[in-house]
Amino acid sequence: MEQGTRNIVVAGKSGAGKQPRIDVLTATYGLRQLSTGNIFREYLGAFRKVGEGLDVARFRRGDGFAPDEEIRAALAPACARAGVAPDAAVLGLKAARYVDGGRFVPDDITNALFASAFRAAAGRGLVLDGYPRTPEQSEFLLDLVRETGSRLDLVLLVDNEDEAIVARTIGRRICPNKDCGKVFHLEFKPPRDGKYCTACGSEVILRSDDTEEKIRTRLAEFQAKALPAIRRLTRAGIPQVVVPGNLPVFSDEAVRESVLGAVRPVLGG
Ligand SMILES: [Zn+2]
């Protein structure tokens, strides 16, 4: 049944319910999830291990950076001591410049990090999550797939109405206790007395990313960039299937049936 390496892109608005669908795909097809969030954490982590006390500004050249060889040479001794791959530290340093400043990471940096992680996973089937998010990233991905002799089997789009996402997200509350972190919803999974974690008793909070204003900004971003990114893949002939983010009954089995019913006609099996 399994022929070659499967790579699947899972797309959808932030809060549409991608993760349960990704879980079905990784479990059913033996794939590994490759999330941009995790990629950034990994490379930033590599840099932080070796970059302490380093004057990062000396590697800046206007809007860009000094040549990679120069940065690599400066980081090499610390990398050798810490057992960190110098290339990963160089990429992490570049990403840190934007992430630490709370600024939008330019496509070329995101692409470089993604390509490095994608190549490192060569030959393993992947579920791409959070990438591509702009049409330029889609172009880059199509080239990378061609260049590495890999392929994209399909795009799974988890579709959810904006208003359903807003309602679900602003009702979300999390336990701020680092050892607990339980997630609640004021309507669907209420905390005790509407306020307290049922596991540890801490007063639950609204995540700073879950305000209505921030949610609507993310939804607009999806419309402006991520949707055209998906269309670019479709134009390149990658099949697209759409699954509903809202199910009449939300159970593991219902999610599984919904996802597999949609992807099997394309993937077989
Ligand atoms: Zn708790």
In angstroms, rounded to a whole number, what is the distance separating the alpha carbons of residues 93 and 166? 35
CA of 171 relative to ligand 1 center, distance in Å: 17
Contact predicate 94/109, CB 8 Å: yes
Domains of the chain with bracketed CATH: 1-31+125-171+206-263 (3.40.50.300), 36-123 (no CATH)
The 10s digit of each residue's pLDDT in 194-225 is 999 999 999 999 998 899 999 999 999 999 99
Examine residue 228 and say whether the peptide bond preceding it is cis (omega within 30 degrees of 0).
Answer: no
Beta-carbon contacts of 268 under 8 Å, excluding residues fewer than 6 positions away, are: 1
The Å distance, Cα 43 to ligand 1 centre, comes to: 30
What percent of the chain has a predicted confidence (pLDDT) above 70?
98
179: CA distance to ligand 1 center in Å? 8
| CA–CA distance, 215 with 127 (Å, rounded to integer) | 24
Amino acid present at 191? P
pLDDT digits (tens, 9 = 90+) for 95-130: 999 998 888 899 999 999 999 999 999 878 999 999
CA distances from 201 to 43, 180, 187, 197 (A): 36, 10, 19, 5
Tokens of 39: 């990629």
Nearest Cα residue to 145 out of 175, 125, 129: 125
pLDDT band at 59 (very low <50, low <70, confident <90, very high): very high
Q: Check pLDDT > 90 for residue 46.
A: yes
Task: Find the mean pLDDT for residues 28-55.
Answer: 94
Q: Does residue 234 have a pLDDT over 60?
A: yes
174 Cα: distance to centroid of ligand 1 (angstroms): 8
C-alpha span between 254 and 197 (Å, rounded) = 28
- The pTM score is 0.88
Q: Quick check: 243 and 21 in contact, CB under 8 A? A: yes
Average pLDDT, the chain: 93
Element (H, E) at 155: strand 154-159
Give the distance (Å) from ligand 1 centre to CA of residue 224: 37
Q: Kindly give the distance from the C-alpha atom of residue 207 to the centroid of ligand 1, in angstroms, as a whole number.
A: 14
* Cα 7 to averaged position of ligand 1 atoms, centre (Å): 37
